[in-house]
Amino acid sequence: MADAHVMWTISQIAERDGVSKAAVSKTVKKLAEDRPDTPIERGMQGQVQRVSLAHYDHYRQRHVNPAKATAPIRSVVSSASAPIDPSDTFEEARRQAEWLKVGRERIRHQEDIGQLLRRDRVEEAQRTIGRDIQNIIRRLQNKADAVALAVSKEGVHGARVELRRIAFELGNEIADRLAVVADQAAEVDEPIEDEEQ
């Protein structure tokens, strides 16, 4: 059986939180960019029709600055944080509340074990690492004199030995640079400061 999610429209979320649909749409857009695996139902032109309420609330709780939020930040652990439409039956309300709780717990667990990563941060790290590795490899031409000297002394065997030494040296430089990048990385994501809701 496929995973079940409590899926709400942008209008329902806006009404629940007392904010504009534009504010909810902005958050859903950021959520879809940062977490592309978020369950989102889209229309024929790609417009968002429904979004997983658990993922939406979890994203806001982790990335919205509470001091700037006009809508309440919903608790990830509370199953009662999402009011159910009164037209639903009690059993349907309870079922949705339970699925919402399960969805939020699943997201929290994935985050705790390191399965969820912010795409923008991963792409930034890839760009930094790629640039640093290219800069190190570009300095390979500076080793031409050492290779030429090795060839003049010992021929092809000398070139092989010198190239192996150079490869080891470059490998160490790359590893050291990657360690610096890893040490400079933040342990946790800071709240998104420009969030309007």
Mind listing the pLDDT tens digit for each residue in 93-124? 677 778 888 888 888 787 777 777 777 778 88
- What per-residue confidence (pLDDT) applies to 152? 92
> What phi, psi does 64 have (nearest 5°)?
-105, 130
Spell out, as residue ranges, where the chain has pLDDT lower than 70.
1-4, 64-93, 188-197
Domain boundary among 75, 90, 112: 112
- What per-residue confidence (pLDDT) applies to 70? 61
Whether the full predicted model's pTM is greater than 0.75, yes or no, is: no
Please choose, from the candidates 104, 130, 118, the residue with its C-alpha nearest in 3D space to the C-alpha of residue 187: 118
Contact criterion met (CB below 8 Å) for 140 and 169? no
Same domain, 59 and 147: no
- What per-residue confidence (pLDDT) applies to 100? 83
Contact criterion met (CB below 8 Å) for 173 and 129? no
196 located within any domain: no
Same domain, 107 and 129: no
Same domain, 166 and 101: no
Same domain, 133 and 76: no
- What per-residue confidence (pLDDT) applies to 71? 61
Q: How far apart are CA 142 and CA 195, in angstroms?
A: 49
Same domain, 105 and 132: no
| Number of Cβ atoms within 10 Å of the Cβ of 38 | 19
Same domain, 60 and 150: no
Domain boundary among 82, 112, 142: 112
- What per-residue confidence (pLDDT) applies to 164? 94
Please choose, from the candidates 46, 50, 38, 45, the residue with its C-alpha nearest in 3D space to the C-alpha of residue 10: 50
Same domain, 62 and 157: no
- What per-residue confidence (pLDDT) applies to 77? 45
Domain boundary among 61, 90, 112: 112
179 located within any domain: yes
The total number of structural domains that make up the chain: 2
136 located within any domain: yes
Same domain, 79 and 157: no
Same domain, 80 and 151: no
Same domain, 12 and 105: yes
| Residues 6+ positions from 30 with CB-CB distance below 8 Å | 59, 63, 192
| Number of Cβ atoms within 10 Å of the Cβ of 15 | 14
- What per-residue confidence (pLDDT) applies to 88? 52
Same domain, 108 and 123: no
Same domain, 75 and 135: no
Give residue 166's domain range. Answer: 119-184
Q: How far apart are CA 88 and CA 69, in angstroms?
A: 29
Identify the three-state secondary structure at position 82. coil
